[in-house]
Every structure is written in structure tokens, then in C-alpha cells.
Amino acid sequence: MDQERELNTESIETVIAQGWAHLFEELYRGSWNAKIKRYRSPFVFRGANRRDSDLISGLSRLARGGNGAGRLENHLLRNFQKYAGNEIGLSESCWRCLPVAQHHGLPTRLLDWTFSPLVALHFATANPHLYEEDGVVWCLDQLRSNQLLPKELHDIAAKEGADAFTAGMLESVARSLAEFDALAPEPFVLFLEPPSLDPRIANQFALFSLISSPEFQMSSWLTSHPELARRIIIPAGIKLEVRDKLDQAGITERLLYPGPDGLAQWLARYYRPPLLPGD
């Protein structure tokens, strides 16, 4: 189906990292902001262990790319809010429920991103079973994508002087996902910055992409706006070097998943013997 089609990457800039130094140059390319004379990257990042990983939401995967994603989304969020509300203090606002649901593993229309290129690198190199496959880091220009937002959203972002949206900002424009989706006839994308629900969100510098249709995908949207993104391929030949240097810099499961679970994940990976054929 159209929503599950493979992302056409031919029109999107793709860079193959030649080594650690070149990888860093590409991750931070475009960070200089001449207006404020500071290095402030306009990009947000998403890492994946495989270079061919697509940008498909959990909701769409659950709905198998079909046109029933909207109905499924309503059922999922209504019941999550009903049963989890008292436990985690959800309000009636969908904008406060949605990121909490995504954070706890519910399939939603959101996709996970990070402000940190190093965190994205972690997720591109975290699986030792995939060290023989190329990884990828997606870089998406958030500031330029904001220029494509409907006027109501563009105005509130300008008023707040913000690049990413909060639940409160969205509540002032649309009270529901249906109202949000109706703000423009064509799908648009914004970035939602969740509150620091726990140290995991804060340590991962996390934010979510939010598209104005449960059935439309970031993959399809980027095919129409290829100038907003680039892919940095991490060849299998340098993946282990990148992983080892991230570990030395402290970008590990121990940091990104604070607590005993993250510590155990890090130790199990860090002390794992070299993979044998067939592992």
C-alpha cells in the first residue's frame, strides 16, 4: 500500500561516513548560526541499526499500513487514557496523553527523534547482532520544516520563540487530534517536545515528530520534501569503532536508560565476546 511504500532515498542527500572524524563533521554540518554567532544546529536526529530502516510509525505498523489507522488510534488512546490516567496523572488533553503513551510503548502516530547527534549514533550502533550491517542517522532540518506549518501553528511558535511545540502550545490551537488534522488540507509535520516524565526522556534529549494524519507517514512526507533531510550512512566497517568511542564518551544504555535495567543492558553489551559466525 502507499503508506508502506519504501522511502525513495534517491532524491535525499546521502553521505557515507569515511571514519569517525568525517562522521562528526557531517553530524554537525550546518550548526553555525551566523545571526547569534553560536553553534546551534537546526537539525533533529534519528538513528537506526540498519541503513534501510524506514520512517514508519508504530501505529501504522500495527494497522499494517491500512486506512483503519485513524479508528485504531482513537481506540488505543481512549483506553490508554482511561486505564492509565489515575496511575500516571493524565489530564484530558490528548497532547499530554500522546507523548506519555508513546514513551510507554503504545503504538502511536509519533516517531522518536533526539536533539543529540550522539544519542542518535547510540541507537544506530546499539545492537551487536547488527554490527555487520550499515547503520544510518537521519538529520531533519526542524527550522525549515516549521516554515511549512499552517499559519495558526507558525504564529504560536513565533510568539513563543520556540522551534519545538509543547502540549500547552498545541492546546491553544487545537483541542483534539481531529482539529489538529483539519488545520491544513495537506499533511504537515511538527516536533513535539515532551515534559521530562522521567530521567530517560531528559537524558535522551528526546522529542517526537507529529504528522497531521494517522495514515500518512514521515517516509511519504519526506519524499515530497527531500531538501529538508539528509541521511548519514555508518558503514559496517566503522560501526564497532563508533560504538567503542561512544562507550568511552559515556553515551551508553547506562545514561540513556537510567536505573538497573539500563545498567544491565550496558554491561551485557560491553562485555559481550566478539560475535562468532552465525550469532
Helix axes 236-248, 20-27, angle to 10 degrees: 80
CB 219 within 8 A of CB 58: no
CB atoms < 10 A from the CB of 219, how many?
20
Q: Is 273 helix (H, G, I), strand (E, B) or coil?
A: coil
Phi-psi region of 173 (alpha: psi -120 to 50; beta: other; left: phi over 0): alpha
CB 152 within 8 A of CB 159: no
Per-residue pLDDT at 242 exceeds 60:
yes
Q: Is residue 76 situated within a structural domain?
A: no
Q: How far apart are CA 135 and CA 76, in angstroms?
A: 32
Per-residue pLDDT at 6 exceeds 80:
no
Per-residue pLDDT at 36 exceeds 90:
yes
7 confidence band (pLDDT: 50, 70, 90): low
Q: Is residue 71 situated within a structural domain?
A: no
Q: Is 78 helix (H, G, I), strand (E, B) or coil?
A: helix
Residue 98's nearest CA partner among 153, 57, 155 is 57
Digit-coded pLDDT (tens) for 130-181 = 999 999 999 999 999 999 999 999 999 999 999 999 999 999 999 999 999 9
Q: Is residue 79 situated within a structural domain?
A: no
| Residue-range definition of the domain harbouring residue 147 | 2-53+112-270
> How many domains does the chain divide into?
1
Query: Poorest-confidence range of 22-36, 137-151, 232-246, 261-275?
Result: 261-275
Per-residue pLDDT at 85 exceeds 70:
no
Per-residue pLDDT at 87 exceeds 70:
no
pLDDT at residue 120, as a whole number: 98
Question: For a pLDDT cut of 70, what percent of the chain falls above it?
Answer: 91
Q: Is residue 278 situated within a structural domain?
A: no
Q: Show the cell assigned to 169.
A: 502550545
Q: Is residue 160 situated within a structural domain?
A: yes
DSSP string of 219-249, one letter each residue: HHHHHH-GGGEEEEEE-HHHHHHHHHHHHHT
* Terminal CA-CA length for the chain: 34
Per-residue pLDDT at 249 exceeds 70:
yes
Q: How far apart are CA 145 and CA 225, in angstroms?
A: 9
Per-residue pLDDT at 279 exceeds 70:
no
Q: Is residue 90 situated within a structural domain?
A: no
278 confidence band (pLDDT: 50, 70, 90): low
Q: Is residue 77 situated within a structural domain?
A: no
pLDDT at residue 204, as a whole number: 94
Q: Tell me the backbone φ, ψ of residue 161, rounded to 5 degrees.
A: 65, 35
Grid cell 515532551 in the structure block, residue: 194
Q: Is residue 93 situated within a structural domain?
A: no
Secondary structure of the chain: what % helix, strand, coil (to 5)? Answer: 45, 15, 40
Q: What's 118-152 look like in SS3? A: HHHHHHHHCCHHHCCCCEEEEEEEHHHHHCCCCHH
